[in-house]
Amino acid sequence: MTHSDAPDLVDWGTAATAATSAVFTAAIALTPAEPEFFDVAFTAVTQPCPWPKAYGGDLVAPAAAAAMRSVTDGKTLHSMHSYFLRPADIGAEVRYEVELLRDGRGYSTRQVRGYQGGKPVYACLAGFAAGEPGETFITGFNLDVPDPEELPTSAEYLASRSGGSMTEQSKAYWSSGRSFDMRHVPGPVYLAVDGERLPHQAVWVKPFDPLRSVVGLTDAQRDLAALAYVCDYTILEPVLRVLNRPWAEPGLVTASLDHAMWFHRPGPVGDWMLYLQEAVAAESGRGLGTGRFFTRDRRHLATVAQEGMIRPAAQ
């Protein structure tokens, strides 16, 4: 299918070889559509990945973009609260319908629902704020982590490794097909839990190349969508780490259930960001993880909480 405002669907295999951020910007490229249920509508196409269904951030970020495009008075996205209702097909159109719930002087609220094949696959509420003078508090942390340049890239880490359920496609995708360079502390959980089984980890995150402009969004709005997109890749990893279950464990099935995100202040999304993550709970086949994005100089940008299904193979 063709997007009038958007690039064609990105072949992630080609993008992986080139290691570009084009997969992300293609994911949030929206085409205006006639609304069927609410006030404003857009369509987007989920980007290819080597799993049966679309990546969760590939629903959150386009929904954020749709909500932001419906707010025309300059307010900034400050929070999103999402539910993943059904798995979304890869390489297929999702229709994002936006309901204009409230437009006040200081705050606005939007509801967004994503439909695929006539059924809702995603829903969220998004809040926007005009901003006003106020005091500032930025949380600190004592975690001493190495600089990203001291850590191996995912491609370097996986180059000589194999095993589990990892295929050449998933190896290429983990290495360089996700638009962002991600470097783990103490180590990844791709094939095995590298490092101690502690309920926390850090991930350095940076786009592979400068983010492209996106029709209908300012660069600042695109950068907020970038945080919403990339946060889901690793937010459940601290839970997997403490449970000693790597991504490539045969038969392991995971899925995002719900998601909340708060955007505190703007920052340089194009530079290295430190994503600190913690496992909060694991029970009854579900795990809850939290995360905080910091700039390289430790300026707190955003906070994330997400619950996911973690289903090991039947014993």
What digits encode the pLDDT tens for the residues 132-170? Answer: 999 999 887 777 899 999 999 999 999 988 888 889 999
**Contact of 212 with 220, CB cutoff 8 Å:** no
pLDDT for 300-312, tens place per residue? 999 999 999 999 9
Rounded CA-CA distance 163/192 in Å is: 9
The sign of the CA dihedral 66, 69, 73, 78 is: positive
Confidence (pLDDT) at 11: 52
**Contact of 121 with 92, CB cutoff 8 Å:** no
Rounded CA-CA distance 63/53 in Å is: 17
How many other CB atoms are there within 10 angstroms of residue 93's CB atom? 16
Q: At what angle do helices 219-230 and 57-69 cross, to 10 degrees?
A: 150
End-to-end CA distance of the chain: 42
**Contact of 77 with 126, CB cutoff 8 Å:** yes
Confidence (pLDDT) at 305: 98
Confidence (pLDDT) at 144: 85
Confidence (pLDDT) at 16: 44
DSSP H or E stretch at residue 175:
helix 168-176
> SS3 for 158?
helix
The rounded percent of the chain whose pLDDT value lies above 70 is 94
What residue type is 273 in one-letter code? M
Confidence (pLDDT) at 138: 86
CA 268 from centre of chain: 17
Quick check: 119 pLDDT over 50? yes
Confidence (pLDDT) at 89: 97
Quick check: 107 pLDDT over 80? yes
Q: 13 burial class (0-12, 13-18, 19+ CB within 10 angstroms)?
A: middle
Confidence (pLDDT) at 54: 96
Give the residue carrying structure tokens 């008075």. 73
Confidence (pLDDT) at 315: 55
Which two structure tokens, joined as six digits, stand for 69?
């495009």
Confidence (pLDDT) at 6: 32
pTM for the predicted model, two decimal places: 0.93
Average pLDDT, the chain: 92
Which two structure tokens, joined as six digits, stand for 2?
């063709």
DSSP H or E stretch at residue 240:
helix 237-243
Q: What average pLDDT does range 76-81 have in this prediction?
A: 98
Rounded CA-CA distance 130/149 in Å is: 38
How many other CB atoms are there within 10 angstroms of residue 166's CB atom? 19
Rounded CA-CA distance 237/240 in Å is: 5
pLDDT for 3-60, tens place per residue? 223 333 445 444 444 689 999 999 999 999 999 999 999 999 999 998 889 999 999 9
pLDDT for 210-230, tens place per residue? 999 999 999 999 999 999 999
Residues across the chain: 315
